[in-house]
Chains A and B, each alone.
Chain A
């Protein structure tokens, strides 16, 4: 067994308030540069909605991710984008590359007009100008253009997830009394079977073995843009100014110094959890060569129990430092994903083994069954799951490749936790009812309490269990710093400017 550690994430969607603080924290640190203005390494989408870039989930349009042929016997996994030979043939013009029209044209305003305009009867205005060629533009789209279902008859109706729903279900989704929406914050999933890594002709993208962060080596990137097409989540971006591809780096300079990534740290809803998962690297290929409905289960299986003595021994054997194993035992992500089975991967059917997991939001389930906004409590909460067919199906196409079972299980547990706490604190639910709900969801009162605590009252340290960066394996620790500096210098000596 070859064990590796992966810094993984959980986003609890019930808690996201759609404030976009995370996006701005990221933008201010990493992408406020020429060529990167349009990039949102972290973005927050309204669902149902088209997302960013437009319709990114539609792989018939973008050809991202992997494709499984011959499921069952002799499965063959290929990049949906192209085979290796086609990659060389497509170097000169990438046929599946999203262009600026799928994102948006970055703009700023001509602020100096506010000051320099001649005296007149009208207020001067600052016109929008393109940040590419400086010409005035009419802003017709932007990041998060369909926020809060804005223009849903133009945008949200095109959500690729709605393909799987009947006309009646779609109608319900958009009828005023039953509509729901929720937010999906997205960053790079730092996948185990990353399509961006596989698609790069130059071999410039790699996974850091120590913590599993996927990075683009800016010196080796040659600007072929295959990662942009290959990533089904559209989380690599092409910098049109430097001619290099860039992506979320999970704030590794912060992680290495024990701080949570900026988007995690700044999250207002405290929806984000970060921690280590130990996984069996030998299973990476087999875990994605199964039919769609088994994907979630297989991915959970390859995540290993950090308390199992055999796993610990094997992890030490594979060179995982004791501190990281310890961090894995404290990991909130392990709790949510494996122990409680509440968190699910985003679009597992893309078969990249994403390591960012989402707890599905309960709100749509409840709101879609409520009549005229009347507050329903008691056991109706529980039966609501059966009548909330639309949101459950919507969620299962998003989080478990169309398989309702894992989504329903997660919901049952979340509802059981609610009933349990309701019985305890308000008392309008009887203890028997709460106990029955717990049994049906297959958990103990202790589990419910633990879920409640980690969901509602976690401290900063409980949300972010950052593994110690193993200084003993860092370069500067084994070499005299003066000598290392003399030999290679620290950092970049040339400004990363556009090449000749």
Chain B
């Protein structure tokens, strides 16, 4: 029963809350979509914290996503011991970058009264949850090694079963509690995206790579 709630009901709920919330916020409150950067008030720690964090966490997230959606490709990528070793190493390096970055950002928010002045309760919740998530992830990486391979036979089929609406908890129930906590916290964070500053994830301005430099807009004419 508990397993059904934790590994079936909760993930579905989180995804619905997240997706509906993102669409709603994007459509109704564009003004609130921003990075909410505080670099203006403090820049030195911000540079180290934010750079390490983002350059660590974004590839890590993409690799997780690859594990869900392209398990065969990912498996092929570390089919030999050497490549597996490399994957493990890369994962750890990025994880440590993210962990150090998150710690720096936490410390920055705690130590600077200027930054605290613009910190909301939700900012604290999100930052602590993110730190916890990376900490759990690193614990898994160090104590249950070769995650690159076992991931594909546990988490991938579980998430896959959820995504085709034939939920199967059996793939993950036998895992130790630390990985389980990591999964649940991950879904919790997804649910929080539209209700916190995490929503800035959807802002990534890829179109900048090809848009025209100068923008001229008429009130009632197509741009010319």
Which of A's residues lie within 8 Å of B, judged by CB?
2, 4, 84-85, 87-88, 91-95, 97, 99-100, 130, 132-135, 193-194, 197-198, 200-203, 205-210, 218-225, 238, 240-244, 281, 284, 319, 473-475, 478, 492, 494, 496-500
Contacts and interface: CB of A to CB of B under 8 A. Distances in A.
Contact of B199 (A130, A207, A500): A500
Contacts of A2: 224
A222 B219 contact: no
B34 A473 contact: no
Contacts of A4: 216
Contacts of A203: 205, 207-208, 211, 215
Interface string B24-38: 000001111111111
B76 interface: no
Given A197-B214, A207-B217, A133 B117 contact: yes
Interface stretch (B3-11, B44-52, B142-150): B44-52
Given A193-B214, A209-B218, A243 B208 contact: no
B207 to A, nearest CB: 7
A100 B112 CA distance: 14
Interface residues of B, number: 53
Contacts of A225: 37, 39-40
B37 A243 contact: yes
Main secondary structure of the interface of A (DSSP, over half): loop
Nearest to B206: A88
A198 B206 contact: no
Contacts of B208: 84, 87-88, 200-203
A206 B217 contact: yes
B141 to A, nearest CB: 23
A100 B46 CA distance: 14
A141 to B, nearest CB: 16
A133 B39 contact: no
A97 B40 contact: yes
A499 B117 contact: no
Contacts of B219: 208-210, 473-475
Given A85-B209, A222-B34, A475-B220, 6 more contacts: A88-B204, A207-B214, A238-B40, A240-B41, A474-B219, A500-B195
A202 B29 contact: no
B46 A93 contact: yes
Interface of B: 29-43, 46-47, 50-51, 53-55, 113-114, 116-118, 120, 122, 195-197, 199-200, 203-209, 211, 213-221, 223-224
B221 A133 contact: no
A93 B47 contact: yes
Give the most central of A94, A95, A284: most B CB within 10 Å: A94
Contacts of B39: 93-94, 97, 99, 225
B203 A202 contact: yes
Given A2-B224, A133-B113, A207-B215, A221 B34 contact: yes
Contacts of B200: 222-223
A200 B35 CA distance: 14
Contact of A209 (B29, B197, B204, B221): B221
B218 A238 contact: no
B168 to A, nearest CB: 35
A135 B117 CA distance: 11
Contacts of B38: 240
19 contacts: A91-B205, A92-B53, A99-B40, A133-B116, A134-B117, A198-B213, A201-B205, A209-B218, A225-B37, A225-B40, A243-B35, A473-B219, A473-B220, A473-B221, A494-B31, A497-B32, A499-B33, A500-B122, A500-B195
Contacts of B195: 500
B43 A500 contact: no
B40 A100 contact: yes
B205 A202 contact: yes
Contacts of A223: 34-37, 200
Contacts of A88: 204-206, 208-209
A100 B41 contact: yes
Nearest to A470: B219
A39 to B, nearest CB: 11
Contacts of A498: 32, 36, 118, 120
